[in-house]
Amino acid sequence: MTHDLTTGVYPAMTTPFLEDGSIDHDRLAANASRLEAAGVDGVVPVGSTGESATLTHQEHVDVVETVVEAVDVPVIAGAGSNATHEALVLARGAEDAGADGLLLISPYYNKPEPAGMEAHYRAIADEVDLPQIIYNVPSRTGRNIAVETAVNLASHENIVGYKAASGDLGRVSEVARRTATEEFSVLSGDDGLTLPIISVGGTGVISVAANVEPERTVELVHGALDGDYEQAREVHRELAPLVDALFAETNPIPVKAAMEIRGHGTGRLRSPLSTISPENRRELESVLADLAEGAE
């Protein structure tokens, strides 16, 4: 079964910065409005793509407030941490800022065992009365959320979804199968796997590519959800070169460069992230030019 906040396309928004390193709230609001106008189902600020690891707690809250004020679609705020008490602070802050739901990356670096992982998520879900999506991205955290843990958490009324970014389609399929009778959904967290994840029971994507090509991403996802796999495959093939280019370096380095090329920001990043390499920027420019030509 699906939940209102877990069906469709949810861009994982970038956080734009001014020259002095502070957050560019005007650009942030404009980007959120642009995505809403493109037909996305919701937006996800202050996740990994939003450089959440380099934001202060107050900046987290300020970003969420700006996005909430800018759009009428659901706002799912990133609020994870490797310390449960800190994740609770971020979750409560997002709730106070008006977020409609939470995206909670699994605890990173300290690599909890399954019992600790489950206790972490239950503690947040017990304390904060918002729909929550657990987020499995072992390339960043060093630890998978065990399938059994995800299945156990699906029974909690506030835990409504699982963002799958492990690259393991078998694992995603098993979570989808074993939670099919719950009010719980599986979302792709890998743009290149969105179509196959929907084919095994997924209901949408939290997408990096949708920052750059929101209309095409909506066309792909809603086409697949409506059963039009021929059309979805065509869009999947169109977007494949962009997806490759967006992950040629650590996210969000390439997507910020792509948005700068498209006129949606400056591409500024917070240290220790560095500017995209000249060769990867040239590839991005070529891919984006081809997509623009194809849209004409």
Q: Residue 188: how many CA atoms within 13 Å on its side-chain side?
A: 30
Rounded-to-integer distance, Cα 185 and Cα 160, Å: 6
The distance from CA 69 to its chain's CA centroid, rounded to whole angstroms, is 19
Distance (Å, whole) CA 183 – CA 205: 17
111 among known catalytic residues = no
> Alpha helices of the chain — where are they, by DSSP H?
25-37, 57-70, 84-96, 114-127, 138-141, 147-153, 169-178, 194-199, 214-225, 229-246, 253-261, 278-295
CA nearest neighbour of 240 among 289, 191, 284: 191
How far lies 290's CA from each of 239, 253, 293, 294, in Å?
Answer: 10, 21, 5, 6
**Coil vs helix vs strand at 133:** strand
179 is in an annotated binding site: no
49 is an annotated ligand-binding site residue: yes
Among the options 10, 121, 162, 163, which is catalytic?
Answer: 163
Choose, from 121, 135, 162, 256, the residue flagged as catalytic.
Answer: 135
Beta bridge partners of residue 9, listed in sequence order = 205
Name the residues annotated as catalytic. 135, 163
- The annotation places the binding site at 49, 206
Task: Write out the binding residues for pyruvate.
Answer: 49, 206
